[in-house]
Amino acid sequence: MPVSVPDHPAYPVGLRLAGRRVLVLGGGTVAQRRLPALLAAGADVRLIAPEVTPSVQAMAEAGELRWEPRGYRAGDLADAWYALIATDDPAVNAAASAEAESARVWCVRSDDAEAATAWTPATGRSEGVTVAVLTGRDPRRSAAVRDAVVEGLRDGTLTAPRHRGRTAGVALVGGGPGDPDLITVRGRRLLAEADVVIADRLGPRDLLDELPPHVEIIDAAKIPYGRAMAQEAINRALIEHAKAGRSVVRLKGGDPYVFGRGMEEVQALAEAGIPVTVVPGISSAISVPAAAGIPVTHRGVAHEFTVVSGHMAPDNPGSLVDWAALAGLRGTLVLLMAVERIGAIADTLIRHGRPAGTPVAVVQEGTMAAQRRVDATLATVADRVAEEEIRPPAVIVVGEVVAVAGGGEDGAGER
């Protein structure tokens, strides 16, 4: 068997394994780590091992690969294009490696890289780009370089503009609750590639300062009780810029489809024949309570949570909320856009049977530097909101989960 020469670097190549036989010997943690990438490449995986990990067994039972529960036998490499040898028996590994060499099958060995004819690079992917790094005998360095490149591609700090296949359109991006670190990696990458950004007030505004000077930023803020860009004007701006051949990001707070009017914008763009990519975001309904130490569900306390818009009072004829039914629930209520009407909402819930002493937490500017939490009960929340001069944006949590971590009106009070 030829001995590899350290002075000669490995020749990097991308193997197209779709429909081609790949032999994997060993069903332990090494195989468990490598199998998903082989399956994603479409390889016809034949796994030989007396025992496998539960995760590998699940892959076999799902029909993703063929598992033969036995040890290695001479001839197992027949018809293979590529082999991964990862048993815990050095003699078996050597014998299988020798067969691979004789059959001219490229072979990776987990126990002896120098005896292998192929090395597995540290690999990562970001939106159609595969990054593979080899640094010889230093796999940790390979992984560190891989991670740095992939992270840069994902968050936009490493720019790699598309030159082929780039089409104008709109990305509807949920920016999360406000903290710039809580936007999804895909959302951040699309933001870095944008020509135009139409941004809400509640989006991660700190990220706008990182955009290149050529990026046009349009303020689509809707300030409660104040200035606002009409939805029709937002729709027109999205359509006009996309039709002009620009890559447009509509940056919204939270998730576009959770009281974000995202579907209205998607429908307007669809009618104009403009392609739309929807990128979900972390909803403030879950993330803001979590940032304030409140789980929306907790074993033995709440088995459900309901997210409700409070932008209309309970007695408003246009309200679609069944407040009487909500009052009868035992779980958590998360109220968005409810600061102005919390008094009427609390009175309605009490009138329909929710106990007046139910704990309530009001979290203002959740996940941001100015975040603060005010605790109350249904009976006292309206007065507490007025006393503390709470202003939007704020998320209001109603239910026993408020007291799980020691909150509630008898607990911490304002934080």
Q: What is the pLDDT of residue 9?
A: 77
Q: What are phi and psi of 349, to 5 degrees?
A: -65, -40
Check residue 165 and give its pLDDT: 47
Mean pLDDT by 10 residues, the chain (415 residues): 58 90 94 91 96 93 95 95 95 95 93 86 73 74 79 68 62 94 91 90 82 87 59 92 94 94 95 96 97 96 96 95 96 97 98 97 94 97 97 96 77 49
> How far apart (Å, rounded) are the C-alpha atoms in residues 81 and 20?
7
Per the CB < 8 A criterion, the answer to whether 180 and 370 are in contact is no
pLDDT at site 142? 76
Report how far residue 146's alpha carbon sits from residue 34's, in angstroms, rounded to the nearest whole number.
Answer: 16
Q: Quote the distance between the C-alpha of residue 142 and its chain's center.
A: 25
pLDDT on residue 90: 94
Phi, psi of 363 (to 5 degrees): -115, 115
- The answer to whether 42 and 21 have CB atoms below 8 angstroms apart is no
Contact 308, 373 (CB under 8 A): no
pLDDT at 380: 98
Decide if 204 contacts 180 (C-beta within 8 A): yes
Instruction: Please answer whether residues 149 and 255 qualify as being in contact, where contact means their C-beta atoms are separated by less than 8 angstroms.
Output: no
Round to whole Å and give the CA distance between 120 and 254: 39
Phi (first) and psi of residue 172, to 5 degrees: -90, 105
Cβ atoms of 306 and 332 within 8 Å: the answer is: yes
Place of tokens 């490995």: 10
- Match 């992270």 to its residue by tokens: 151
Q: What is the pLDDT of residues 19-65, one digit of tens each?
A: 999 999 999 999 998 899 899 999 999 999 999 999 999 999 999 99
E strands within 55-105?
A: 66-68, 82-85
Residues 414, 254, 281, CA angle at the centre, nearest 5°? Answer: 130
* pTM, two decimal places: 0.69
Cite the active site residues.
200, 222
